[in-house]
């Protein structure tokens, strides 16, 4: 028993993961090459690359890909800057810091679909308070239709995501900052470094690896953006806020073009794998060393 126990311990976990990921992936590969469309009937004739081509013919698919790219990049960029500033502001202890820390991490434990929901509630005209708040800072009465007016609907989506995920950046960067030994600052101080210099030449280079890890994890997740879109805009108006995940969901579960949706999912996954692989390879060196 003891001789085989190492394999016995690993097997159940490996098996269940294989059963529910490898198998569906293989199955979906088949689906993406046949006609699998609940609106067309129960037969599944081989259609070659048609399902893949269908996606590329659809301007909404192409637009959704670009939107996914610029959404994720702008969301993560804002979260990075805010998270960094917040971590710097929270680094030194002060009264009430512990309570604030608890408050700051709350968004991480809320379902994104719920976050989208209450941002909708927040900006919905005329019952939400967003316009009223804007009127206080902006001269005159502000009446923005946040769910229809470009660019406001994008801004609201980005803010909702920033609201939820800035704590993620914050907490990781804070850990990175706290790990920098004081002696380095003392040395910089003795060498006559000005505060700005010791930030540029001590803090930044040392915290950079941790920042890159945080950015990697966030980018990988942001590229899958779905929940907030679902509850905040439902992709609308029209298809203006479709992300790739939302587009694929619509293809599969609103129109029941399962073949086309699966083919699109495969292409999306391959693109994501390339990007994640590149990011992980380049940026997650510490993980590799741990393994």
Of residues 154 through 183, those in contact with other proteins by CB under 8 A are 163, 168, 171-172, 175-177, 179-180, 182
Query: Of 70, 110, 205, 281, which lies in the binding site for other proteins, with binding defined by CB under 8 A?
Result: 110
**8 or 46, CB closer to other proteins?**
8
Question: Applying CB under 8 A, does 199 fall inside the site for other proteins?
Answer: yes
How remote is the C-alpha of 275 from its chain's centroid?
A: 14
- Binding residues among 256-275 for other proteins as defined by CB under 8 A: 258, 261-262, 265-266, 268-269, 272-273
Question: Applying CB under 8 A, does 101 fall inside the site for other proteins?
Answer: yes
Question: Applying CB under 8 A, does 39 fall inside the site for other proteins?
Answer: no
How remote is the C-alpha of 217 from its chain's centroid?
A: 8
Report d(CA 182, CA 254) in Å as an integer.
57
CB of 190 to other proteins, least distance (A): 8
Q: What is the largest CA-CA distance in the chain?
A: 78
Question: Applying CB under 8 A, does 220 fall inside the site for other proteins?
Answer: yes
Question: Applying CB under 8 A, does 108 fall inside the site for other proteins?
Answer: yes
Query: Of 35, 64, 72, 203, which lies in the binding site for other proteins, with binding defined by CB under 8 A?
Result: 203
Question: Applying CB under 8 A, does 208 fall inside the site for other proteins?
Answer: no
Question: Applying CB under 8 A, does 24 fall inside the site for other proteins?
Answer: yes
Torsion over CA: 201, 203, 207, 208 (sign): negative
Query: Of 139, 151, 196, 238, which lies in the binding site for other proteins, with binding defined by CB under 8 A?
Result: 196
Torsion over CA: 208, 212, 218, 223 (sign): positive
Least Cα distance to 120 among 166, 79, 152, 80 occurs for: 152
Report d(CA 155, CA 257) in Å as an integer.
31
CB of 57 to other proteins, least distance (A): 20
How remote is the C-alpha of 138 from its chain's centroid?
A: 31
Report d(CA 242, CA 220) in Å as an integer.
18
Question: Applying CB under 8 A, does 21 fall inside the site for other proteins?
Answer: yes
> Are 75 and 162 spatial neighbours (Cβ–Cβ below 8 Å)?
yes
Q: In the numeric block, which tokens belong to residue 255?
A: 């129109």
How remote is the C-alpha of 96 from its chain's centroid?
A: 30
CB of 53 to other proteins, least distance (A): 18
**17 or 73, CB closer to other proteins?**
17
Q: Is 275 helix (H, G, I), strand (E, B) or coil?
A: helix
Interface with other proteins (CB under 8 A), residue total: 113
Query: Of 188, 215, 222, 229, which lies in the binding site for other proteins, with binding defined by CB under 8 A?
Result: 188
Query: Of 63, 78, 134, 202, which lies in the binding site for other proteins, with binding defined by CB under 8 A?
Result: 202
Query: Of 78, 145, 224, 239, which lies in the binding site for other proteins, with binding defined by CB under 8 A?
Result: 224
- Binding residues among 53-92 for other proteins as defined by CB under 8 A: 82, 85-86, 88-92
The 3-class SS string of 177-237 reads: HHCCCHHHHHHHHHCCCCHHHHHHHHHHHHHHHHHHHHHHHHHHHHCCCCHHHHHHCCCCC
Question: Applying CB under 8 A, does 14 fall inside the site for other proteins?
Answer: yes
Question: Applying CB under 8 A, does 40 fall inside the site for other proteins?
Answer: no
Tell me whether the omega of the peptide bond preceding residue 102 falls within 30 degrees of 0, making it cis.
no
Which residues share a beta bridge with 34?
46
């Amino acid at each position: 028993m003891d001789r085989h126990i190492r394999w016995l311990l690993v097997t159940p976990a490996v098996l269940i993961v294989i059963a529910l990921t490898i198998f569906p992936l293989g199955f979906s590969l088949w689906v993406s090459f046949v006609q699998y469309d609940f609106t067309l009937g129960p037969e599944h004739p081989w259609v070659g690359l048609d399902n893949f081509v269908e996606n590329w013919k659809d301007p909404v698919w192409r637009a959704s890909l670009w939107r996914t790219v610029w959404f994720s990049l702008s969301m993560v960029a804002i979260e990075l800057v805010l998270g960094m500033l917040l971590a710097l502001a929270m680094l030194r202890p002060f009264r009430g810091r512990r309570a604030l820390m608890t408050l700051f991490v709350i968004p991480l434990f809320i379902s994104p679909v719920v976050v989208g929901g209450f941002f909708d509630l927040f900006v919905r005209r005329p019952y939400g308070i967003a316009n009223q708040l804007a009127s206080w800072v902006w001269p005159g009465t502000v009446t923005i239709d946040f769910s229809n007016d470009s660019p406001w609907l994008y801004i609201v989506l980005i803010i909702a995501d920033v609201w939820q995920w800035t704590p993620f950046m914050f907490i990781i960067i804070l850990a990175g900052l706290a790990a920098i030994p004081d002696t380095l600052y003392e040395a910089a101080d003795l060498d006559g470094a000005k505060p700005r210099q010791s930030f540029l030449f001590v803090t930044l280079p040392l915290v950079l690896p941790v920042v890159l890890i945080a950015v990697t994890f966030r980018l990988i997740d942001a590229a899958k953006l779905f929940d907030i879109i679902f509850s905040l805009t439902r992709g609308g108006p029209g298809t203006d806020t479709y992300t790739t995940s939302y587009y694929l969901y619509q293809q599969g579960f609103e129109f029941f073009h399962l073949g086309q949706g699966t083919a699109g999912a495969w292409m999306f996954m391959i693109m994501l794998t390339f990007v994640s692989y590149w990011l992980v390879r380049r940026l997650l060196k510490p993980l590799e060393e741990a393994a």
